[in-house]
Amino acid sequence: MGEIGSAMDEKLLLELLAEAKLRGGGMILNVGEAPEVVVLSVEAYSALLAGKGTAHAPESLASLGTVPEQKTQTVLVTGGAGYIGGHVVRLLLDSGYKVVALDNLYTGRREHIPDGVTFIEGDVRDINLLRDVFAGYKIDAVAHLAALLEVGESVEKPFEYLDVNLLGTIKVLSAMQEAGVRRLLFSSTAAVYGSQSLVPIPELAVCEPNNPYGKSKLLAEKAVEYFTQCGELQATVFRYFNVAGKGAGLGVADTHHRSHLIPIVLDVARGSQEQLVVNGGDWGTPDGTCVRDYVHVLDIARAHAMALKAGVTEKFSIYNIGTGKGTSVHDVVQVATEVTGRMVPMQVGPRRAGDDSILVAGVDKIKKDLNFVTEHSTLEEIIRSSWAM
């Protein structure tokens, strides 16, 4: 090559580097038949110096294409022993991430944590523990799922919900800020919306939550936004709609058998609960029962993996995750009866405090920005997967 710096050589250098990156960070140039020159990206060269690459003399371009290894990202999943957390942990592990799961096992289960994941039993409100976790593991990103999430319970224990959902989130954000960890996926909920006149509900809707659970999560979203505005944090907030279903063979169960419709309906079909008591039949919906947007837990987990992979375009963004389709309690019971071949006796009871009438996701934004559409979220697939033992 001629003198570096001339316009011609700079163009050549850029082409070589682009080619090297395509080949995994480096390539060999032959002079005649013999390999003579190695071109490495700075990233690849630094990794090689740090001993992370495979320091053997490659015999061919193909072998050099694997040198050095891509840096493995480590994700801290709070609430990783929970129902959704357990699925997120597995998908991230399968996608090549290292995973550290933190959970106080309040509703989570130790057996939801698969081999290969570092499990830490502890509370997200324990700032010293969080400091230890960030100091002990090189965390690149956090998926913060740990929370309390029962609407009815939140009406009875509003301050506990504020404590775990807001204070716990602020502790996680503070520890991330101190440790210089910049990337956050935050689990929020459709409950932040409250009653809305425009359905499906777009992310820009003015949030007026009807229960302490939704209020505590909305406050937590504001705290996340605050850290993105005042610090280096880059956050993606996911507002999940009604999560249900199960990943086959993962051994992760839905833990919400007292409050969430689909687990209760299937318990009734199995005979382990006597009957379904419907929370109100006078909601002003087509059949009088509440309408929700059911989304398969595998689709929720996929959205997390896709957001991590996509990187960041905005410092703070909010996405609904749902299907855009509404399903009433009667619809769920009908499909459950068809899928299970069992009767689901039901009785209409009073409305539950804090409930919303209709919650259906507007899904245009997540489709446009993350190219995300649900793949597993027909009601039949959701119920069939939950029914399978």
Ligand X SMILES: NC(=O)c1ccc[n+]([C@@H]2O[C@H](COP(=O)([O-])OP(=O)(O)OC[C@H]3O[C@@H](n4cnc5c(N)ncnc54)[C@H](O)[C@@H]3O)[C@@H](O)[C@H]2O)c1
CB of 287 to ligand X, least distance (A): 22
Q: Which residues pair with 40 in a beta bridge?
A: 26
192: contact with ligand X by CB under 6 A: no
Q: How many CA atoms lie within 13 A of 233 on its CB side?
A: 28
- Token digits of residue 248: 């086959």
Displacement of CA 208 from its chain's centroid (Å): 24
279 φ, ψ to 5°? -80, 70
Report the C-alpha gap between 322 and 211 in whole angstroms.
21
- Residue selected from 169, 236, 255, 317 as contacting ligand X according to rule CB under 6 A: 255
Q: What is the DSSP letter of 69?
A: P
- Nearer to ligand X by Cβ, of 108 and 209: the residue is 108
Does 318 contact ligand X by CB under 6 A? no
- Cα distances from 134 to residues 94, 139, 175, in angstroms, run 23, 6, 8
Task: Say if CB 99 and CB 202 are below 8 A apart.
Answer: no
316 binds ligand X (CB under 6 A): no
Question: Of these, 123, 140, 160, 381, which contacts ligand X (CB under 6 A)?
Answer: 123
Q: Is 263 in the site for ligand X (CB under 6 A)?
A: no
Verify binding: residue 43, ligand X, rule CB under 6 A: no
- Distance between CA atoms of residues 55 and 44, nearest Å: 12
* 128-147 binders of ligand X (CB under 6 A): 145-147
How far is 86 from 114, CA to CA, in rounded Å? 8
**Does the footprint of ligand X cover residue 85 (CB under 6 A)?**
yes
The single residue among 27, 76, 141, 149 that binds ligand X, judged by CB under 6 A, is 149
The reply to whether 211 sits near ligand X by the rule CB under 6 A is no
- Catalytic-role residue among 97, 193, 213, 319: 213
Number of other CB atoms surrounding residue 265 within 10 Å: 26
Q: How far is the CB of 67 from ligand X (least distance, A)?
A: 40
Applying CB under 6 A, does 101 fall inside the site for ligand X? Answer: no
Beta strands in 104-233 (DSSP E): 118-121, 141-144, 183-189
Is 193 near ligand X (CB under 6 A)? no
The closest of 384, 382, 373, 377 to 338, measured between CA atoms, is 384
Q: Is 189 in the site for ligand X (CB under 6 A)?
A: yes
**For ligand X, which stretch binds (CB under 6 A), given 83-91, 327-335, 352-360, 381-389?**
83-91
Nearer to ligand X (CB atom), residue 169 or residue 289: 169
Structure tokens of 212?
């302490």
Please confirm, yes or no, whether 213 is among the known catalytic residues. yes
User: Does 240 participate in binding ligand X (rule CB under 6 A)?
Assistant: yes
- From 73, 154, 169, 187, residue interacting with ligand X (rule: CB under 6 A): 187
Count CB neighbours of 100 within 10 A.
Answer: 23
Q: Which is nearer to ligand X, 66 or 107 (CB)?
A: 107
Residues with a known catalytic role? 213
Which chain residues interact with ligand X by CB under 6 A?
78-79, 81-85, 103-108, 123-125, 145-149, 164, 168, 187, 189, 240, 242-243, 255
